[in-house]
Homo-oligomer: A and B are copies of this chain.
């Protein structure tokens, strides 16, 4: 009697070893359940997880086929900058540069889904590791969605961390870029001439209501982003 994990592993092996090649039809759940001496439900779970992992595609009646990948998937987790700095064993420092309630510019207004004359909270802050600037956080927060933000000074806690606590599971959209640094960025992040910045643009919302729109700006020479090595067996 084999578990769904064993079965999943065996099937995965047959796929990565190309015993079953892209486009090939896998045996039906029925057939596999006989091969492995278990019920269809067990095989179903194994195959469903392989489908979740993108190894196979399943369609009713048509069966299960090995996928011909057309792209490389990558999963990233973007930690709060304080975590990242402390994990490197550096001393973390946070500095609020600007805080004001104002009418946001066109792009931020649209991203947050605000009316023409609706004010929002603007925050500019800087995060240091061992005294060296690591991240500039330039952000608009929707005050209709988060009126509590007017009460918070953000003098001691970064807006990112504050939001993560206040609005735990928003919908998220990211854009990553390599940009030329503006004069202000160059000054604040203490960049060399021509040193680029790695920017993360993030928009979060919940039930269609915009929460925050932020640009996280990092010195190119001191920052990179990596995917966790989904080591060998896709599943652990």
Judge whether A1 is part of the interface by a CB distance below 8 angstroms: no
Q: Cβ of A175: which chain B residues have Cβ within 8 Å of it?
A: 224-227
Chain B residue at smallest Cβ distance from A49: B52
Q: How far is the CB of A44 from chain B (nearest CB, A)?
A: 11
* Complex interface residues of chain A between 158 and 215 (CB less than 8 A to chain B): 164-165, 168-180, 193-199, 202, 205-208
Cross-chain contact B231 with A171 (CB below 8 angstroms):
yes
Q: How far is the CA of A195 from the CA of B171 in the complex (A)?
A: 32
Cross-chain contact B198 with A177 (CB below 8 angstroms):
yes
Cross-chain contact A71 with B78 (CB below 8 angstroms):
yes
Cross-chain contact A172 with B227 (CB below 8 angstroms):
yes
How many chain-A residues does the 8 Å CB contact rule pick out?
Answer: 62
**Contact among B55, B173, B179 for A196, CB-based, below 8 A:** B179
Supply 19 further A-B pairs (C-beta < 8 A) apart from A196-B196, A196-B197. A16-B207, A55-B169, A66-B168, A69-B164, A70-B79, A71-B78, A172-B227, A172-B230, A173-B226, A173-B229, A174-B226, A174-B227, A175-B225, A175-B226, A176-B198, A177-B220, A177-B223, A178-B198, A208-B232
Chain B residue at smallest Cβ distance from A52: B52
Q: How far is the CA of A186 from the CA of B176 in the complex (A)?
A: 21
Cross-chain contact B75 with A75 (CB below 8 angstroms):
yes
Q: Offer 29 A-B interface pairs, CB within 8 angstroms, sorted by A.
A: A15-B169, A18-B168, A55-B169, A67-B169, A70-B80, A71-B78, A71-B79, A71-B80, A72-B202, A73-B76, A74-B77, A74-B174, A171-B231, A172-B227, A172-B230, A174-B226, A175-B224, A175-B225, A175-B227, A176-B226, A177-B178, A177-B198, A177-B220, A177-B223, A178-B223, A179-B220, A194-B194, A196-B220, A205-B232
Interface of chain A: mostly helix, strand, loop or mixed: mixed
Judge whether A83 is part of the interface by a CB distance below 8 angstroms: yes
Q: Cβ of A144: which chain B residues have Cβ within 8 Å of it?
A: none
Q: Cβ of A206: which chain B residues have Cβ within 8 Å of it?
A: 16
